[in-house]
Amino acid sequence: MAKISIMGAGSWGLGLSILLNNNGHEVTVWSVFEEELDVLRKNHENTKCLPGVKIPENIKFNGNTKEAVESADILVLAVASPYTRSTAKLLAPYVKDEQYIVNVGKGIEESSLMTLCDVIKEEIPQATVAVLSGPSHAEEVGRGIPTTCVIGTAKKEDAIFLQNIFMSDVFRVYISPDVLGICLGGSLKNVIALAAGIADGLGYGDNTKAALITRGIAEISRLGLAMGAKVETFAGLSGIGDLIVTCESMHSRNRRAGILIGKGYTKDQAMEEVKMVVEGVYSAKAALLLAKKYNVSMPIVEQINKVLFEDMNASLAVSELMLRDKKIEADSISWE
Ligand SMILES: NC(=O)c1ccc[n+]([C@@H]2O[C@H](COP(=O)([O-])OP(=O)(O)OC[C@H]3O[C@@H](n4cnc5c(N)ncnc54)[C@H](O)[C@@H]3O)[C@@H](O)[C@H]2O)c1
Ligand SMILES: O=P(O)(O)OC[C@H](O)CO
């Protein structure tokens, strides 16, 4: 049994708190917002983020950062991605040497183009940083619906240790050394999910969705390879797996925001309506900048940026994608 503090009391932090509590660990949930914890103490439910899912009575809530960090063997960082750096700065003074921090957030920092794991390592160099990712909506994990994820760490023994912590009969965990690939897949799928949602909002069909998923993972893999990630990771749970669930599920905030944009809402109106942070909007700019930096073609990411930040009409963006220069499907397969 381990002592685990979940840093973040939103839907994913709470979903994981239930899983880890059911696995027999001693779980504390922390938030920078005391009022978020007060509601949980009173109702054992977050009706905004995870309605209908009861948080077990033995899970503790503690807003004292020092206590939450120092009392834990493992920290699970589950804040909305734009607040990863500020939260890591807050935790840093209390983190012990080699204390585990499992990042479960998905995003790329816009100002630095760093993955969240790299942001955490920069702010908390003494920690052992891992990433957990994959097709895993909190609404389903919180209800014990069978789910699979992957944990990435630099050292194999850390991955095996964390695999044993998270794994259960309803939560199967694989391990991988490709931390970069896992972080990139989880972040970039949110951008493609916006496009998939837009296609739904425009009233397009399953063919369009399948095209976006397939060509979307091609773009993500191209960038990932150029940055040093492994191509197999993008064929795995944190790559195509997460992309499929995010593009298909009505639990997805990114897809739901996209649907609204496809129906004519502005980006800001869509984000307001979805109520939780729509991370694809933040990662879209970062993805485009990375594509330029690594000289990689990412046409869907380009069009999404035009729709989000240049007021481009969504159906025009689809036409531009359809009428691009003619291409070979995969550059690595030729007739020679
Ligand atoms: N919801 C899911 O199903 C799911 C699944 C896998 C991964 N994730 C990832 O986990 C992360 C958290 O997602 P979520 O769904 O729990 O989001 P959420 O919007 O439900 O909750 C985010 C939490 O972040 C914290 N937060 C907000 N503003 C903050 C600030 N200024 N400083 C510090 N903390 C702040 C709050 O505790 C808030 O409850 C995201 O990066 C998301 O991509 C979510
Ligand atoms: O599907 P979204 O957009 O809510 O993102 C949540 C998780 O990343 C799904 O694995």
Domains parsed from the chain with CATH numbers: 3-177 (3.40.50.720), 180-322 (1.10.1040.10)
pLDDT, residue 334, reads: 84
Point out the catalytic residue in the list 54, 156, 189, 230: 189
Q: Is the CB of 11 under 6 A from ligand 1?
A: yes
Residue 44: count of CB within 10 angstroms of its CB: 15
pLDDT, residue 277, reads: 87
Q: Of 46, 107, 110, which is closest to residue 77 (Cα–Cα)? A: 107
Whether 59 contacts 97, CB under 8 Å: no
Whether 193 contacts 262, CB under 8 Å: no
Distance 270 CA to ligand 2 centre (A): 16
Distance 106 CA to ligand 2 centre (A): 8
Ligand 1 atom index nearest CA of 276: 19
pLDDT, residue 243, reads: 98
Sheet holding 26-30, edge to edge: 60-61, 26-30, 3-7, 74-77, 100-103, 128-133, 147-152, 171-176
Residues annotated in the binding site, as ranges? 8-13, 106, 134, 136, 138, 189, 242, 252-254, 277, 279
Q: Is the CB of 274 under 6 A from ligand 2?
A: no
Give me the phi and psi of 283, to 5 degrees please. Answer: -75, -20
Whether 52 contacts 112, CB under 8 Å: no
Per residue of the chain (336 residues), give pLDDT as tens.
999 999 999 999 999 999 999 999 999 999 999 999 999 999 999 998 899 999 999 999 999 999 999 999 999 999 999 999 999 999 999 999 999 999 999 999 999 999 999 999 999 999 999 999 999 999 999 999 999 999 999 999 999 999 999 999 999 999 999 999 999 999 999 999 999 999 999 999 999 999 999 999 999 999 999 999 999 999 999 999 999 999 999 999 999 999 999 999 999 999 999 988 899 999 999 999 999 999 999 999 999 999 999 999 999 999 999 999 999 999 888 887
- The full DSSP string for 120-179 is HHHH-TTSEEEEEESS--HHHHTTT--EEEEEE-SSHHHHHHHHHHH-BTTEEEEEES-H
Residues annotated in the binding site for substrate, as ranges? 106, 253-254
Measured by CA distance, the residue closest to atom 32 of ligand 1 is 83
Ligand 1 atom index nearest CA of 79: 24
Is 189 an active-site residue?
yes
What's the predicted TM-score (pTM) here?
0.97
Place of tokens 């950062």: 65
Q: Is the CB of 252 under 6 A from ligand 2?
A: yes
The ipTM (two decimal places) reads 0.97
